[in-house]
Structure 1
Amino acid sequence: MALNSCSNENVIREASIPDQVSYNFHIRPILSDNCFACHGPDANKREAGLRLDTEAGAYAALKENPDQHAIVPGNPNKSQVIKRIFSEDASEKMPPPESNLTITDYERNLIKKWVDQGGVYEKHWAFEPPTKKTIPIPDSDEWSHNPIDGFVFAKMEDKGLSPSQKAEEGYLLKRLSLDLTGLPPTSEEVMLFGSGEKSWEEMIDLYLDKPAYGEKLALLWLDISRYADSFGYQNDNIRTQWPYRDWVIHAFNQNFPYDKFLTWQFAGDLLPDPNREQILATAFNRNHKVTEEEGVIHEEYRMEYVLDKTNTFSKVILGMTMECAQCHDHKYDPISQKDYYNLYAFFNNTPEKGFEGGAGSAVRAKTPLMWIDTDDTEGILDFVNHSDTSKVAVSIMQDFQDSIRPTFILDRGLYDAPKGEPLTANTPAIIKPFSSELQKNRLGLVEWAFADDHPLTSRVFVNLIWQEIFGTGLVPSSGDFGMQGKLPTHPKLLDWLAVEFRESGWDIKNLIKMIVSSATYQQSSAVTKAGLALDPDNTYLSRYPRLRLHAELIRDMVLSSSGLLISEIGGPSVKPYQPEGLWEASSSGRGELNIYRQDKGDKLYRRGIYTFIKLTLPPPSLLLFDGSNRDICQVNRNRTNTPLQALAMLNDPLVLEASRVLAEKLVVEYGDEKAAIDEAFIRILGRLPKDDEEKVLEEFYAEELERFKMEPVTATSTLLVGESPTSEKEAIRTAALMQVIVALYNLEETITKT
């Protein structure tokens, strides 16, 4: 089969009006972008009484002209929407010129054909429960490995594309190791796979079974759960939520089913006779920022905390921007302000306080809380890495036992402006009505979310995992499955995976294994001119995307490849190298966080997931590479390229120290410079160097060796970097090899999945 071949006709073909126009996939996005702000769900902003987001509103007689209708099904000539969007008269043209919105000629004709075909409205695709579509098996498909590939190949064919060649073994193994463990493959693993001693499936199982797997997947979840090591706000001080992070890593490594994983976090305290592990998991709800400012209004901040919990639930379970409805009915999605505060009511019954002591408090958690000591870590909480004898306080979730705090709609979202009658905890009916058989508490809410016919829970998580592996989700707007969100690029694949995930018992490792076993995943990332012309953004997955590593994983790659990494799992956060004066120059931080006290010894070489995150001033080494600042629930990260990133890789003390340490090891282990360079290359890039690469590196080494022979003092001073012990042997050879290793760390390929 020809790979990545496409004709010139395919490259230059223009979009044409489809034979059958779909409201969901063709019309709604146009109306949502251009019309719903004035003619959508928000009654307070609705113009002329016209509502275009519902069939009833669009078909109804116009308020100002009762003999006319916005849409007359099957009759574009009598439909005022068609007349207005085609009009050149500024006084009647829609959208109006002053809105700075424009509907293209293609979009106008699309809407006209839709009306001509009956103007049929459909329920928003994301609010329909997913169903397993038939797996496409095209006659020409000799490429597919599993059902994922059938869907992807069919879409490629439809777009005039074809798959890329399989990636070379070295690139493929590095990709897999980074995706499943966040660490580069070891030299031994490269040889095992390269020699054929271990198969692809065996390598997948090897990495899924490593403790590092839980740390890698926890990175995604800590962004979602807004985990940090300080309370945030101006009067910032240390908090001790890290046992929760230990639990997340433990849960992923134990392969908790996703329904259990989320149930414990949202409502572990409401389970029958909950144990201490289930209660610890509820710290998820309490990771939001907490004020320690004297003089704040208690109720204002208590409400902020409940809002955060509500918004986090809507983003991680529903994949929706429900926070828009805090102040008014949602402008685009059929979510009213009442819907929002009904959901808010599930989280509004906790004894949590808006303000509980200032930054001088010795307790590093807020009520309600649980204490963990060494006795706990010898029992059910044995996964908590608590090495000293002190007690650790963790903020957890709890509800009032004998009363229910009343919830009201808040006028314009203001804490002191309740209006109307008290609300009952409930869910938006447009998504799925809340069953009367369920308890009206957080436990009932999670049971609602995991019902077999829930339209969003499985889709949203499958999409997050896809995004983690491919850089972009099957729904590109992973935090917005609503009307303003992006349409799924492969809707049938998304639904097939969502149902398969649920039917597997919500098995996360099984989902990941299925994805990385696919031919889609194993494609080369090489770009062809034809493929680039047809699909510049790689929407249809005819190649593997080149993706820069997450900030923490860049650190992990440097530590692991150099041999500096301390692989200890869990425990309190650590403070590695950081430019002097940053914390002191900021006005944020009190008590222990007033001054940056860098850690020593092994603590300097922990994985990036354990780096201390001060909310008011996150670690600069992580922010430079688009790390999350963790102040809100975040389901995706940006990937930027800036000169500061290059400067960091060239000058970061950790990169230089790692280069020196690896050089010292290799100089001792290998008398042959070529063998030493090859070993460094394998450790850092996960593959053997090609002949031309090897030649360039050997020439560079020879140049540096000659330079340091002429300047032995410079060689010695070059090695004086970092706090790990420095060897005094072979200073000149070591310094020369160190420069080669620094160069390897600064290759674009080094910090990129290819």
Structure 2
Amino acid sequence: MRTMSYYLFTVIAGIGWCFQSCTSSSSKMTENAQLPDVVSYNFDIRPILSDKCLACHGPDANKRQAGLRLDVAESAYKALKEHPSAHALVPGKPELSQVFLRITSEDTATLMPPPASNLKLSSHEIKLIEKWIKQGATYQKHWAFVAPKKPVLPAVNQKEWPKNEIDRFILHKLEQNGLTPNAAADKERLLKRLSLDLLGLPPSLSMMDQFLADKSPKAYEKAVDQLLSNPAYGEKMALHWLDLARYADSHGYQDDGYRTQWPWRDWVIHAFNKNKPYNEFVTWQLAGDLLPASTKEQLLATGFNRNHKITEEGGVIQEEYRIMYVTDRNDMFGKGLLGVTLECAHCHDHKYDPFSQKEYYQMFAFFNNIKEVGMESVIGGPDTYAKKPLMEISDKDVKDILSFVNKRDTNRLIVSVMGDQDTLRKTFVLKRGVYDAPGEEVEPGTPKAILPFNRNYPKNRLGLAKWLFDRQNPLTARVYVNLLWQEFFGKGIVKTSGDFGMQGELPSHPELLDWLAVDFMDHGWDIKRFVKQMVMSATYRQSAVVTPEKLQTDPDNRLLARGPRYRIPAEFIRDLVLSSSGLLNGTIGGPSVKPYQPPGLWEGSTSGRGLLSMYTQDHGSKLYRRGMYTLIKRTSPPPSMAIFDASNRDLCEVKRLKTNTPLQALVMLNDPAVLEASRVLAARLLAEKGAINDKINKAFRLIVSRKPTEQEVTILASYYEKERQKIDRKKAEKVVAVGEYPIPASIDKSKLAALMRVVTTIYNLEETITKS
């Protein structure tokens, strides 16, 4: 009898063989790749240096070996510190360049990278470096740190396919790679994709029927405009911003007390629905309190900066935690708005990007003057729901100024916002990043490699916002259009959407990215216009069907020869279930809610003090709010959403993981919200006249957003009949006893249980929760 260890060995061996085979195949493809006619530093050489050389010969002076810096031309060309007669690079002459001689050496004592580093250059990489040196070893500034210019639209052969400029760039790249785009998706699948992308909700039956019946050339554009004008658009668009801004309903750390930042969330939804230009949207959040004649709405927007974790535990060192809060704001600014790993320079000069530790603390200085302390008070009553500086929102405010804030009661409502001290707090470089080890004093400033700070800008957060939206800032527009592209296509043009630096991925379509960035700025940073531009493209409308040829050539769909296909975000899975069943409470904004959750999770994760020490489930219509309104307690985030990769909002997150685990299937099979929705929809269908096939057809359309095939209806109807005959009254009582929504008194519970199981099956189809 074979033992478990045998099977384990077989599995591991198989994985190892597969990995080795895939790696070997990939290596062969790289080795056989042709050298470009002109070797580019940015796109051919810098990635090699970044991966294999810059840890020891890069920007970090503390780790630099032999005084050699290879990311700067002047350093690479000059005589070597240890061998004055030699040079790392001699343009035009690889035989005199120590870089080439060392990477081709057979002597392990001189070979670079050193064998002990476990890094090795492939023969293709060596040939690239050799050709680059022969062509003059010309350096270029990192592509992402050069202000974008609008490139000329590329010529294409298939002239009838493009719908707008986006398609010209996509098709040009496809034709270069010998690929052709897919035909457009059928109308039902296209409408589902569009509705999920613009609302985070499936289309209604009436909208499906209307779209299918509309044969006019403008039918699709009319559907786009209809969805863009729906207030649910603001909720959908707000979700990615809540991740970026690390919004949560608790302070974090051990006590993890309740906080009332939800009015800021209401403002974000409102801002997207009002189509506030991106430059204004961000400026208000960074520095609304510093704007001339600042309004209460502009002050509320600055809650963006106060969403970070805050401790309420006694005995902490005040300055240590205050520094942590400032650090969080600084790191979020770098990752979320600039798309760079600024945080890597917190303790030392950045090892790969040209950011010094001094520049990190110059940026830090913009956020270091806020009137806050490390620990304001112990956990307790309403005054701890927000930390100073704060603003109070009165009923009069809601009536006159903040009408978008969903304040339904007379309780005191306070929100943490920004507010600077009257006197300037000094900022120092912190040695090794330690809060109590100040070094050189610094003034507010920005990394010179990105864009030097304009002396005419005020040295505060408002000046920082002006710098961020300076037309010469190379990152701001690129980073945001890339984030939105990621939202609609599944991956950004730059796949590493939080890292446009030296270690980040190169853009799949660099000219398109620059064209979009400049076009976005030229049209007033108009977000809705850009969203419409994307969804109107032929690229977006393509079918997601993939041929073996395309799968082999482009498995990750980086070239976009087919439509996007991936599971929808956690919150929208909940929304789809609630919406299709008719349970969804469409109220916009307001406090977060506590739906069904397994018992004991909160109780085991905190100190046992405060409002969030025990989970008290909500009831009634609060159970059916959209997923984005589910209360997020940082130390114990909503479990079903965490299983579907939702953020716990500890830190700024610009890109969620996309995993597939058996736990996800268990959620869809057993979550009370899914089972209750199945029961409620089944009861509503049974209350309608018609045959069972008609009821199944309607359920399928509501959930999957398309008409089922005859075979699908036949299979589901057969399953219904089997379940109806198998489930007796006693078992039926048990099956339908889920959720709080009332069961119609006169309904046949055996039929209800049988149809409920059919509906649950439809919810568990892969297609249901997949955008395709």
The two structures share one fold, judged by TM-score above 0.5: yes
Question: 1:528-549 CA distances to partner (integer Å, 9 max, x unpaired)?
Answer: 1111111111110001121101
- Counterpart CA distance in 1 for 2:118 and 2:380 is 52
Which residue matches 1:636? 655
Question: 1:204-244 CA distances to partner (integer Å, 9 max, x unpaired)?
Answer: 11111111100001100000111000000011110000000
Which residue matches 1:718? 735
- Counterpart CA distance in 2 for 1:252 and 1:558 is 24
User: Could you tell me which of 589, 597, 604 is aligned with 1:578?
Assistant: 597
Which residue matches 1:84? 102
Which residue matches 1:393? 414
CA drift of 1:415 comes to: 0.6
Which residue matches 1:74? 92
Which residue matches 1:332? 352
With over 3 angstroms needed to count, the CA separation of the structure-2 counterparts of 1:724 and 1:699, relative to structure 1, is same
- Counterpart CA distance in 2 for 1:476 and 1:47 is 31
In 2, are the aligned partners of 1:76 and 1:115 still within 8 Å (CA)?
Answer: yes
With over 3 angstroms needed to count, the CA separation of the structure-2 counterparts of 1:588 and 1:625, relative to structure 1, is farther
TM-score of the two chains, using structure 2 as the length reference: 0.95
**Matching of residues 603-614 of structure 1 within 5 Å:** 603-614=622-633
User: Could you tell me which of 42, 47, 50 is aligned with 2:68?
Assistant: 50
Q: Is 2:506 the counterpart of 1:469?
A: no
Q: Secondary structure at the match of 2:391?
A: strand
In the alignment, residue 485 of structure 1 is paired with which amino acid?
G
User: Could you tell me which of 54, 58, 62 is aligned with 2:80?
Assistant: 62
User: Could you tell me which of 399, 417, 428 is aligned with 2:447?
Assistant: 428
Which residue matches 2:307? 287
**Matching of residues 260-271 of structure 1 within 5 Å:** 260-271=280-291
In the alignment, residue 353 of structure 2 is paired with which amino acid?
D
Q: Secondary structure at the match of 1:718?
A: helix
- Counterpart CA distance in 1 for 2:309 and 2:708 is 48
Unaligned runs of 5+ in 1: 1-10
Which residue matches 1:319? 339
- Counterpart CA distance in 2 for 1:314 and 1:438 is 19
User: Could you tell me which of 183, 188, 196 is aligned with 2:214?
Assistant: 196
With over 3 angstroms needed to count, the CA separation of the structure-2 counterparts of 1:615 and 1:78, relative to structure 1, is same
Question: 1:408-448 CA distances to partner (integer Å, 9 max, x unpaired)?
Answer: 1000001100012x211111111111111111110011011
Q: Secondary structure at the match of 2:382?
A: coil
- Counterpart CA distance in 2 for 1:588 and 1:21 is 59
- Counterpart CA distance in 2 for 1:203 and 1:561 is 19
Question: 1:646-677 CA distances to partner (integer Å, 9 max, x unpaired)?
Answer: 00100000000000000000111133111111
CA drift of 1:361 comes to: 4.3
Which residue matches 1:384? 405
Q: Secondary structure at the match of 1:583?
A: coil
Q: Is 2:35 the counterpart of 1:17?
A: yes
> 4+ runs of 1 displaced by more than 3 Å?
11-14
In 1, are the aligned partners of 2:256 and 2:606 still within 8 Å (CA)?
Answer: no
User: Could you tell me which of 676, 683, 692 is aligned with 2:702?
Assistant: 683
**Matching of residues 576-655 of structure 1 within 5 Å:** 576-588=595-607, 590-655=609-674
In the alignment, residue 106 of structure 2 is paired with which amino acid?
E
- Counterpart CA distance in 2 for 1:338 and 1:515 is 40
CA drift of 1:194 comes to: 1.1
Which residue matches 1:343? 363
- Counterpart CA distance in 2 for 1:587 and 1:153 is 54
In 1, are the aligned partners of 2:78 and 2:87 still within 8 Å (CA)?
Answer: yes
- Counterpart CA distance in 1 for 2:204 and 2:474 is 42
CA drift of 1:712 comes to: 2.2
**Matching of residues 408-557 of structure 1 within 5 Å:** 408-420=428-440, 422-557=441-576
User: Could you tell me which of 673, 691, 699 is aligned with 2:692?
Assistant: 673
- Counterpart CA distance in 2 for 1:297 and 1:159 is 59
Which residue matches 2:325? 305
CA drift of 1:727 comes to: 1.4
Which residue matches 2:113? 95
- Counterpart CA distance in 1 for 2:64 and 2:184 is 53
In the alignment, residue 121 of structure 1 is paired with which amino acid?
Y
CA drift of 1:373 comes to: 2.0
Which residue matches 1:257? 277
- Counterpart CA distance in 1 for 2:42 and 2:623 is 52
Q: Secondary structure at the match of 2:540?
A: coil
User: Could you tell me which of 657, 673, 694 is aligned with 2:713?
Assistant: 694
- Counterpart CA distance in 2 for 1:139 and 1:660 is 54
In 2, are the aligned partners of 1:236 and 1:589 still within 8 Å (CA)?
Answer: no
In 1, are the aligned partners of 2:382 and 2:412 still within 8 Å (CA)?
Answer: no
Question: 1:276-329 CA distances to partner (integer Å, 9 max, x unpaired)?
Answer: 000000000000000001010000111111111111111122100001101000
- Counterpart CA distance in 1 for 2:607 and 2:755 is 42
In 2, are the aligned partners of 1:373 and 1:390 still within 8 Å (CA)?
Answer: no
Q: Is 2:595 the counterpart of 1:560?
A: no
- Counterpart CA distance in 2 for 1:64 and 1:300 is 42
CA drift of 1:103 comes to: 1.1
In the alignment, residue 423 of structure 1 is paired with which amino acid?
V
Which residue matches 1:7? none
In 2, are the aligned partners of 1:68 and 1:80 still within 8 Å (CA)?
Answer: yes
- Counterpart CA distance in 2 for 1:700 and 1:12 is 49
Question: 1:572-621 CA distances to partner (integer Å, 9 max, x unpaired)?
Answer: 00000000111112235521111100001000000000000001111101
In 1, are the aligned partners of 2:606 and 2:635 still within 8 Å (CA)?
Answer: no
- Counterpart CA distance in 2 for 1:543 and 1:88 is 46
Aligned residues: 740
- Counterpart CA distance in 1 for 2:335 and 2:688 is 51
CA drift of 1:362 comes to: 3.1
User: Could you tell me which of 157, 169, 172 is aligned with 1:151?
Assistant: 169
In 2, are the aligned partners of 1:373 and 1:386 still within 8 Å (CA)?
Answer: no
Percentage identity across aligned positions? 57
- Counterpart CA distance in 2 for 1:751 and 1:589 is 37
Q: CA RMSD in A?
A: 1.2
Q: Is 2:259 the counterpart of 1:239?
A: yes
Q: Secondary structure at the match of 1:28?
A: helix
- Counterpart CA distance in 2 for 1:596 and 1:52 is 56
Q: Secondary structure at the match of 2:209?
A: helix
Which residue matches 2:190? 172
In the alignment, residue 550 of structure 2 is paired with which amino acid?
G
- Counterpart CA distance in 2 for 1:120 and 1:691 is 64
Question: 1:97-146 CA distances to partner (integer Å, 9 max, x unpaired)?
Answer: 11111211111111111111100000000011111111113133321110
CA drift of 1:12 comes to: 8.4
- Counterpart CA distance in 1 for 2:414 and 2:458 is 30
**Matching of residues 23-38 of structure 1 within 5 Å:** 23-38=41-56
TM-score of the two chains, using structure 1 as the length reference: 0.97
Q: Is 2:752 the counterpart of 1:734?
A: yes
Which residue matches 2:226? 206
In the alignment, residue 383 of structure 1 is paired with which amino acid?
F
In 2, are the aligned partners of 1:588 and 1:616 still within 8 Å (CA)?
Answer: no
Q: Secondary structure at the match of 1:521?
A: helix
CA drift of 1:166 comes to: 1.1
CA drift of 1:732 comes to: 2.3
